[in-house]
Structure 1
Amino acid sequence: MLIKKITPFLILLASAGFANAQDAASQTATAQSSPDPQQQQEEKAKLEKKATVLLEQVVSEAGALKLPENRIRVQIAAGDMLWDRSATRARGLLSDAGAMLSQMILEGDRTDRDEMQTLNQLRQDLVLTAGRHDAELGYQLLRSTQPQTNTTNAAGGRRFGFDPQGNLEQSLLATIAATDPKVAYQKASEALDKGEYPTALNRVLAQLQSKDEEAFKKLSDKVLGRLGSENLLTTREAASLALNLLLPGPRVTGTASNQTTQATTTNARSNSTQVLSESAYHDLLDNAIAAALNVTSLGPGNNNRGTGPGGRLRMPPPNPQTTTDDAQNRQNNARTLLFGLAAMLTQIDQYLPERSQTVRQKMTDLGMGNNPNLTYGNQMRTAMQQGTSETLEAAAKTAPPQMQSRLYQQAAQKAVDEGNTDRALQLANDHLDESTRNSIMQAVDFKRLTTTASAEKLDEIKQKLAGLPSDSDRVKYLIDLSTSTQKDNPKLALRFLDDARNLVNKRAANYKQFEDQLKVADAFAAVDSKRSFEVLEPGIAQLNELLSAAQVLNGFEIEIFKEGELSLRSDNDLVGMVARFGQELASLAKADFDQARMTADKFQLPEPRLNAKLQIVQSVLGVQRPANDGNRRGQNFQFVMR
């Protein structure tokens, strides 16, 4: 049965024996010279003009959508993408979206949790998108869409509120710092002068240090001047801000040239939030320790607190009493600081070693010493930041027993991806059960094979592929083989992709098989974009069928339609897969814009069709969303925004 199943792609593989180094040589000999830069600019301008025309068409068609939230998403995305080309037009779109959203908020059902989440997300998207382009417009929309405080609940059911105004205002402040540092500096300074400690200050400083050195120094000095030990004890917000500044560590100085390129790359995200010099870091850390040592007890139920999964800091909750006296407040803030410092013992050892033993002794006195959860949390935080096989292995050593096997497996697989097959085998042999070990050993075999793949090794490749447990595994390794041979033997690389295409050229039976189709389409993009579209079209046709079935079942087994229209707030897997196909079309648009647009038209419903076209425009215009755009849990199908 297995032989019959894999016969088609084995036949194709056999024919690949005619692909040899001579093919690569002829390809190289006929390669075109580098295109003229002026011609490239002209082609780019033509492509962007097409994209702008398509964007205006999408905005026009979106007027027929029933759901206001869908129309708002189009307006926000369009305003974002049009700003650099027509600020007046973009401002009008964002203002119209604000007016529509204000009405939605006024009429919103506060007993409907999903509706409240949608309104909160739309408001965040609108305000932050506007703020990235115009600080004043961002604050204007923040005010105009502010929910009323009316708490009347005629239905008598549970009410769900809007996100606190202050949270969005802090996110807006951090956003503005990236584009208008002078305004961000002014507003942050005003807040400090009023005795406030904005939660976005660390993000504002992170932006200012690369945008405006003078403003960065002034604001840094003012912040540090407000974070003395006494303020850390009396103000919870000050304690939280101090920990936010301390946790990433100090800025890396130019003398740290011995760090490897890999380490620099893997820690780039962390380094972006390192805003304190070593001297300032030392002083603030000393203040935080001095305040934390005032703890006399952990309070009820706090003995096992520390860091949660992934190394996220778990702070002790505020005192449950409705009012606290000054002594209670100081104890609460000291606990917050001590639990935060528990996740920074390595930094304390390095930058304030004379305080290290005192902190550890205080933790021991309070029952926090030798807490395995703290050790594991610190290891996981390092593993998530660096993501290497070494850090994953270190995290596995301190993980709870039930999690160790999974982490060792991830470490071994990461070692395979890094090309360190010997390390992968050692981890597998030392820590994994037979089944998992065999899987890693198989991955090692293929990793070694991909580095030496050639037409002469087709028999060995056939045997390896035949031994894989699923077509998904075969697709993965055929793509890897294609990638490894593309430079030296492009004809053989194309044959490998044809074999992979043959495996996915069928109706998907689950979402994993849809993902395989996307992987093959994406792999073809580097060698023949026409075949990428050919792979995607059957998948889109099947998605149309599934969406039609979902319309019939809506309200029973599934609920992704509202008033007969696909709601773009859904976190449903089907809707997410529709969005994934749109993303793949967007990635192909630069190679063949017209074909990408025509393929997007194959979506029968207007909502996924418009969304795919917006993604295409976004790709062509080079619009990118920021890495941290707030909390977007469950938002896997939405009109794209920068």
Structure 2
Amino acid sequence: MQGPIITQFPQPADSAPPPKVDPETEKKALDLVQTLSEQVVNLHASANRIRAESEVADLLWVRDEKRARTLFTAAVTQLASQISELDYSDAEVYNEMQRILLSRQELILRIAPHDADLAISALQLTRMQGDNRSRYGGNWTANNEANLEMMLANVIAAKDPAAALKLARNSLSRGVSWNVIAFLPTLYQKDATSAQTLYKEIVARIKDDNVTRNAELANNAWNLLVSFEPPKADEDTYRDLLTSMLSYILTSNRQTAQGMNVAQNMYYQIERIMPLVDKYAPARAAELREWSQGVERTLDPSAKMYQEMRRISEKGSVDDMLALASKYPPEFQNMLYQNAAWKAVSSGDTARAKEIAEKIPDPVQRRQVTDQIDNQAARAAEGDNKVVEAHRLAEKANTLNRKLDILLQTVNTMVNAGGDKKAALDLLNEAKAVVASTPQSAAELTAQLRLAQAYMRLDTDQVFAILQPIVVRLNELVAAAVVLDGIDFHYLKDGEWIMPGVNNLGNMVGMLDQMLAGLGRIDFDRARTLADQIGRPEMRMLMEIDLVQTTLGVKTPVNQVFGMRGMSGMTIMN
């Protein structure tokens, strides 16, 4: 059994809307939506059609709710049909199920802000076959269902907390999950009474399910204690749960491997738990501290070292850390001397840091730390001049890919900080020369897209100049891939290109899609002209939908990723 792993639950993303585009651009984008709404019927692949219908319906809702409802309903019907036609004897069925689950998630979360009842109906109509009763024991179907229910609950809670609460209870009926716990603060903001009621129901379910037989449940119970405290939580119920969990830990049998594992994992959480115990169960505090000391004596040498190192790193001196290093054998000294060196750097003593780094037994790690210290010292001597630093690091780079990374990262840092735009452009032009010196390849094409992305906030003309030939090249590559479909990869389904792709070419198409979408807010007409040059009609339609969404500031549903959200580097060989 695993011990408690206490996590910080993710907070909702900032919901502030992006700045509105000018009225003329907005009209052009909305006119394009109308055209696209008439074209979605031409799509044949279910995945493409469901995606297009849901995205266009989302865009149309304010302008033509009736038409939007029709598109949403059609997408739900097609998705339900896809699910009913799954061949569970097919070796590829799980890959297809994953694609369907992503489509289902996006569709339901696009409907939710417009009509909670319609979204809940879509959830019910598109459930996968399988046992949905309990999420424990690695039940994949029930876990996916519970996750989507809670994602939907979070979206609709602001407008319909009662419906959101009902979804949370449905999810809880399968077992206590982290996302039911994470939902409590959201519900509390809208309906404190309902949140406290749900909290009591979660605690009751934890106690009924018995944490001694379920490691995941024990983790969730501890996370509930640290993430939802009084006065939000009912204090008596909170104290009852805390006392139960303390009894679970303090009475665990440390003579067994399982019991010792539980105890040692809990030991690392004591500092976080102790203030809660002092406040809500003070009678158990002394017992817990004594228990902690007993567990500490059972830790292996490496665990003890990490504990000592953490304490000394927080409160001790460089000399304290060096003294600690002398206590341990060479296999532990790499990390200890590294930490001592960085503590010296943080105190401004670079010379001593380099002396300490020379004590690191492993030659590779010793060289890496020494180089990092030298770079930090050089950065300080340069007055934190980003351009000088970029040139210094780029000269040392042993591959073109690393040199390009350094230049583009520096440009992004400068632009984000509101730095010298002319200097940033000069660095970009150097990066452009680096890319131009490489032979054509997938990595070079990816580098071109990364370069275009870096230019977006500095020189729009350069972005379009880079992307124009890329569109031509990708059209040629896609045409070749269609001929090879099924030989190296499956690019098509029902005769249509499926986005997002799963290999290098699919990723590059996704990168271009996101680049064109981002350009919509800068120069909609030129971005659409480029999108219109995409050869395959289904690919062109999906890219134009993404263009409109980004231009109008429509957000992608939470936790849903379509295409490439950002540029990833690839290795360019010398």
TM-score (norm 1): 0.63
- When residues 407 and 555 of structure 1 are mapped into structure 2, their CA distance, relative to the original with a 3 A threshold, is farther
- The CA deviation at 1:448 is 6.4
- When residues 201 and 592 of structure 1 are mapped into structure 2, their CA distance, relative to the original with a 3 A threshold, is same
Match of 1:65 in 2: 43
Matches within 5 A, 1:291-370: 291-296=248-253, 302=258, 341=266, 344-353=269-278, 355=284, 358=287, 369-370=298-299
- 1:285 maps onto 2:242 in alignment: yes
Cα distance between partner residues in 2 of 1:586 and 1:533:
13
- When residues 167 and 480 of structure 1 are mapped into structure 2, their CA distance, relative to the original with a 3 A threshold, is closer
Match of 2:122 in 1: 141
Stretches of structure 1 lacking an aligned partner (at least 5 in a row)? 1-39, 151-159, 254-274, 307-337, 380-392
Match of 1:322 in 2: none
Is contact 2:513-2:543 (8 Å) kept? yes
Match of 1:13 in 2: none
Whichever residue aligns with residue 522 of structure 1, its letter is Q
- The CA deviation at 1:288 is 1.7
Residue among 176, 182, 185 paired with 1:206 = 185
Cα distance between partner residues in 1 of 2:39 and 2:338:
49
- 1:473 maps onto 2:402 in alignment: yes
How many corresponding residue pairs? 503
- The CA deviation at 1:470 is 2.7
Bigger mean CA deviation after superposition, 544-553 or 225-234:
225-234
Cα distance between partner residues in 1 of 2:402 and 2:349:
19
Whichever residue aligns with residue 349 of structure 1, its letter is M
Per-residue CA deviations over 1:497-524 (Å, capped at 9, x if unaligned) read 2222222236765554444323322222
Match of 1:78 in 2: 56
Partner SS state of residue 451, structure 1: coil
Whichever residue aligns with residue 273 of structure 2, its letter is I
- When residues 303 and 407 of structure 1 are mapped into structure 2, their CA distance, relative to the original with a 3 A threshold, is farther
Is contact 2:109-2:557 (8 Å) kept? no
Residue among 581, 585, 603 paired with 2:512 = 581
TM-score (norm 2): 0.70
Cα distance between partner residues in 2 of 1:497 and 1:603:
27
Whichever residue aligns with residue 288 of structure 1, its letter is M
Cα distance between partner residues in 1 of 2:514 and 2:336:
31
Matches within 5 A, 1:23-102: 44-102=22-80
Matches within 5 A, 1:560-639: 560-568=491-499, 570-629=501-560, 636=563
Q: CA RMSD in A?
A: 4.9
Partner SS state of residue 433, structure 1: helix
Whichever residue aligns with residue 289 of structure 1, its letter is L
Bigger mean CA deviation after superposition, 605-614 or 584-593:
605-614
Cα distance between partner residues in 1 of 2:146 and 2:538:
33
Percent of aligned positions with the same letter in both sequences?
A: 27
Is contact 1:130-1:137 (8 Å) kept? yes
Cα distance between partner residues in 1 of 2:60 and 2:265:
44
Partner SS state of residue 157, structure 2: helix
- When residues 588 and 507 of structure 1 are mapped into structure 2, their CA distance, relative to the original with a 3 A threshold, is farther
Whichever residue aligns with residue 163 of structure 2, its letter is V
- When residues 47 and 284 of structure 1 are mapped into structure 2, their CA distance, relative to the original with a 3 A threshold, is farther
- The CA deviation at 1:531 is 0.9
Per-residue CA deviations over 1:275-297 (Å, capped at 9, x if unaligned) read 75999766533332224445447
Is contact 1:247-1:344 (8 Å) kept? no
Per-residue CA deviations over 1:332-353 (Å, capped at 9, x if unaligned) read xxxxxx7884563222223225
Is contact 1:472-1:513 (8 Å) kept? no
Bigger mean CA deviation after superposition, 49-58 or 98-107:
49-58
Per-residue CA deviations over 1:104-162 (Å, capped at 9, x if unaligned) read 11212112222222222222322333234322112211222234569xxxxxxxxx979
Match of 1:262 in 2: none
- When residues 542 and 191 of structure 1 are mapped into structure 2, their CA distance, relative to the original with a 3 A threshold, is closer
Cα distance between partner residues in 2 of 1:298 and 1:132:
53
Matches within 5 A, 1:510-529: 511-529=442-460
- When residues 523 and 351 of structure 1 are mapped into structure 2, their CA distance, relative to the original with a 3 A threshold, is same
Residue among 346, 366, 384 paired with 1:451 = 384
- The CA deviation at 1:441 is 5.6
Cα distance between partner residues in 2 of 1:609 and 1:219:
47
Match of 2:312 in 1: none
- When residues 230 and 434 of structure 1 are mapped into structure 2, their CA distance, relative to the original with a 3 A threshold, is closer
Is contact 2:203-2:241 (8 Å) kept? no
Bigger mean CA deviation after superposition, 541-550 or 594-603:
541-550
Per-residue CA deviations over 1:186-225 (Å, capped at 9, x if unaligned) read 5546888x897576432321212333445434544x3476
